[in-house]
Amino acid sequence: MTQVLLSQGTLPATDERLPGVFLAVCRSEWTKLRTVRSTMWALVFTVISTIGLGILLTALVVGHWDHRSASEISGFDPLLYSYAGLNVAQLCIGVLGVLVMTSEYATGMVKLTFGATPQRHLLLGAKVLTFSVVVALVSLVSCVTVFFICQALLAGRHAGLSIADPGVLRAVVGGALRMVLIGVIAVGVGAIVRHTAGAVAILFAVLLIIPGLVQLLPAPWNNDITLYLPNSAGAAMSAVVRFPNLLAPGAGLLVLLGYAAATMVVAMELIVRRDA
């Protein structure tokens, strides 16, 4: 067993430049991501909620088409129902994003990770980028798929949108981008909190509980604040019709980008400063 011990003289030049280190770490993070089962399950649930819920809600609207109220008809956004599933999908992405970071701490693997890459800011950057690319691809495919299925359902009522209609392509890409940014926030929260349960609780509070609590505030505070919560800002990114209770798509993107950037700045600072 100890015969073929160690191949001698295989040390490559180790003064690799940082971009080279970054690429190697991205590959390593991709290997990590695809070799645990939680990744596959979270992504399957993401796709199912995005596509399944979109079809379900759109089919319900189509079903009671002739009984809609005047307000339902005037404020109808064909994409609103198609992308209702994103509100659930973002939770799946969020949990996976948290796990990408906290599972390292929970298993103690982070010692090996930091030992292999002492440039921790670079490591976190590679983690976020790799995860973002995976989320972007999966979300884009499901957003495009659910778009075409739902619009085909609505086409029977002559209410469907074409991908070439103004603002539609932007809204489809916006839906996927929303998932990516939620994912980035989740990885950041995971890096800050370092415990799975705590990080998931914070994420769910932000996405599920705080919107409800804010609604209890006296007007106009409730609606003004709601506009800027991650949920509403994200929903605004894939709206085609302008609603008074949503920001403009570009503004929604900027708000969500702001949350993601702020989380990452704190996470970067802490991951370098704290002991593993």
Partner 1 sequence: MIEARGLSKRYGVTLAVDDLSFKVEAGKVTGFLGPNGSGKSTTMRMIVGLDAPTSGSATVGGRTYGSLRFPLHEVGALLDADAAHPGRRARDHLNWLADSNRIRRTRVDEVLDTVGLTDAAHRRVGELSLGMGQRLGIAAALLGDPAVLILDEPINGLDPEGILWVRHLLRSLAGEGRTVLVSSHLMTEMALTADDLIIIGRGRLLSSGSVTDFIEQRAGHHVKVVTPDADALGALLRDKGAEVAVDGPEELSVQGLESRDIGILASGAGLTLYELSTQRASLEDAFMELTHEHAQFKGMPTSLEASAR
Residues found near partner 1 in the complex (CB under 8 A)? 1-2, 4-8, 10-12, 14-18, 20-21, 24-25, 27-32, 35-38, 103, 107-119, 275-276
Taking the complex as a whole, the smallest distance from the CB of residue 92 to partner 1 amounts, in Å, to: 18
Least Cα distance to 203 among 186, 227, 215 occurs for: 186
Of 100 and 233, nearer to partner 1 (C-beta) is: 100
Nearer to partner 1, 1 or 164 (CB): 1
Of 155 and 270, nearer to partner 1 (C-beta) is: 270
Smallest distance from the beta carbon of 19 to partner 1, in angstroms?
Answer: 11
User: In the complex, what is the shortest distance from the CB of residue 131 to partner 1, in angstroms, rounded to a whole number?
Assistant: 14
**Least distance to partner 1 from the beta carbon of 185, Å?**
23
Burial 21-46 (b: 16+ CB within 10 A, else e): bbeebbebbeebbeeeeebeebbebb
- What is the smallest separation between the CB atom of 11 and partner 1, expressed in angstroms? 5
Whichever of 106 and 149 has its CB closer to partner 1, that residue is 106
Tell the smallest beta-carbon distance from residue 99 to partner 1 (Å).
10
Nearer to partner 1, 40 or 137 (CB): 40
Q: Quick one: 27 or 242, whose CB is closer to partner 1?
A: 27
